[in-house]
Amino acid sequence: MSTTSTLSRRKKMMAWTGLVMLMAIFLLPMTGYISTGFVTAAEEQVREQQTNPRSDYWRLVRNNTEGYSAVTGLEANELIQGSGQVWRQLRNGPIATYGSWLIGFTLAVLAVFYMWHGNIKMTHPRTGQTIERWTLNERRMHWLTAGLFVILGITGLSLFYGRLVLIPIFGHNGFSAYAEIAKWTHNILGPAFMVALLSMIVTWFKSNLLNKVDMEWFKAFGGMIGDKHPSAEKLNGGEKMWYWALATMGVALCLTGLVLDFPNFDQEREIIQVSHLIHVVTALILIAFAFGHIYIGTIGTEGALEGMVTGHVDTAWAEQHHDLWAKSVIKKESDSH
Amino acid sequence: MARMKFLCDEERCIECNACVTACKNEHEVPWGVNRRRVVTMDDGLPGEKSISVACMHCTDAPCQAVCPVDCFYTTDDGVVLHDKDLCIGCGYCLYACPFGAPQYPQEGAFGARGKMDKCTFCAGGPEEDHSHEELEKYGRNRLAEGKLPLCAEMCSTKSLLAGDGDMVSDIFRNRVIRREGVANTWGWNTAYKD
Ligand code: SF4
Ligand code: SF4
């Protein structure tokens, strides 16, 4: 009897000791608060704001912060700007690499397509009758924009890839002489291109609104795959895509170009860096698009170039490629007779 | 081989702008261009500090990496120089430079940039040493005369140090030990990898 009671007492003692030890483990480390006291949330916040003044200072130095400088000049009062390195890495790295892939890939696809399909001939013999497709003004506008686009594209690509591609061919002196001319040409013709592009966007806005006919056209891949030629109005789905690419990316290209072209407005380096990246990316995409547009308009399709050169197309061509438009024009003409 | 570096001791700089003036005078830098400048942070507040900055002559220089005509070169002394005959004044080096070192004389309307100008570590340019062309385009070549950059030599408090990186570090380390401070090799993490 007595043995069992001592045993249970010992068990109880052990349980209590264990509990006390456990409490001590949790509570002892908290004795630190005896000296500091428990902080309120507000006090905690104040403490967080008090950072090391020395590291604060170096943070200012690194973060493009404006100080004071007796030397006047744009951003002369800043010590280190970090975004330049980001700009360098994006420009020289992914953009240069993927840009060259994009252009190379586009050219390769067009070459393969040409070998496969060749020049897409007219399916019916020419009727000898023509209808007007582009007015003189529209053609002038188109060729002005196109000419400027080509010049700006070549000079721009030279500044972007010239160091890699052209310096090994022409040497440093030869390339530099050309690059100087390229820079000036690009800077002066840029704004002219913008005016030409904007006038084109405004003039052709209505005929480029997308509708159901275009959806069908896209579904049939514009007749490129398969035998049937899908219906199209004056402008087919592909032409409209090209229009909207120019109306969006082309406009971004022009606006960022202005930021780069006129340093006299004292824009800071960061906005210039961002503008430059947008400028290069949109330019590369539009150049790839332009290759496709030029291909289809020249060696890709019989009779397509005539429209933009003479302004008139044969009714057989019109009915093959732009059936809905051809019908409406012919109907209008016969109505007026 | 020496590896030239600049160091500005921010505990010593008193923003007297002597380095700026010395540089401008020595190299007869064009109007509107300053190769060196002093920047004061927290101006007029407790803890205000000034730093003199010019081209730091970076290892793996960002300016060099983006120049479309590839006109930069690094000398055996680690000095980053450029060829003004090749430069087309595109501005890319200024966009990339962490220290805002490249400067441009304005040429023509709309702020069009002329040929880039920047600190040469008083080492001239690609022209023949001490030639008239070198003086005209890049300023004096003090390194070829066996002298160090004038800005540092003129510094009234010897805050600005210029010369072989190891010697600059030694001088600075000694100073820091004496004043029981923390070493701050300003800009070195950004500029140098060697
Ligand atoms: S400080 Fe600027 S200009 Fe000088 S080497 Fe570095 S990136 Fe080039
Ligand atoms: S401004 Fe001159 S040195 Fe600077 S990146 Fe352009 S071409 Fe090169």
- A71/B34 CB distance under 8 A: yes
Better-scored residue on pLDDT, A41 or B67: B67
Instruction: Kindly write down the DSSP assignment for every residue of A86-118, as one continuous string.
Output: HHHHHIIIIIHHHHHHHHHHHHHHHHHHHHHH-
Least Cα distance to B68 among A255, A276, A147, A78 occurs for A276
Q: Quick one: closest CA in A to B49, which residue?
A: A57
Instruction: Find which of A50, A51, A61 to mutate to test the B interface (most B CBs within 10 Å of its CB).
Output: A61
- A172/B70 CB distance under 8 A: yes
Residue B82, φ and ψ in degrees, nearest 5: -140, 160
**Contacts of residue B20 in chain A, CB cutoff 8 Å?**
70-71
Atom index in ligand 2 nearest the CA of residue B115 equals 2
Domain count, chain B: 1
Nearest to A81 among B85, B86, B100 (CB): B100
Q: What percent of chain A has pLDDT over 70?
A: 92
Task: Report the pLDDT value the prediction gives residue A20, as an integer from 0 to 100.
Answer: 87
Angle between helix A212-219 and A237-245 (nearest 10) = 100
List CB contacts of A63: < 8 A, sequence separation 6 or more.
Answer: A80, A82
Measured from the alpha carbon of residue A163, the closest ligand is 2
Residues of chain B with pLDDT under 50: none
CATH of the domain at B171: 3.30.70.20
User: Residue A145: pLDDT band by 50, 70, 90 thresholds?
Assistant: very high
Mean per-residue pLDDT of chain A: 90
> Which residue segment(s) compose the domain that B81 sits in?
4-191
Could you tell me the pTM of the whole model? 0.86
- A67/B53 CB distance under 8 A: no
Task: Report the pLDDT value the prediction gives residue A46, as an integer from 0 to 100.
Answer: 59
Please report the ipTM that was assigned to this predicted complex: 0.91
**Contacts of residue B97 in chain A, CB cutoff 8 Å?**
84
Ligand 1 pocket residue status of B20, Cβ below 6 Å: no
- Using the mean position of ligand 2's atoms as its centre, give its distance from the Cα of residue A33 in Å: 61
Neighbours of B49 (CB within 10 A): 21
A12: amino acid identity, one letter: K
User: Residue A287: pLDDT band by 50, 70, 90 thresholds?
Assistant: very high
List CB contacts of A28: < 8 A, sequence separation 6 or more.
Answer: none
Nearest to A176 among B37, B86, B99 (CB): B86
Q: What are B4's strand-pairing partners?
A: B164
Question: What's the sign of the alpha-carbon dihedral A253, A255, A259, A264?
Answer: positive
Residue B174, φ and ψ in degrees, nearest 5: -60, -45
| Protein residue with least CA distance to atom 7, ligand 1 | B97
- Structural domains of chain A in order of their starting residue, each with its CATH number: 32-80 (no CATH), 82-134+204-336 (1.20.950.20)
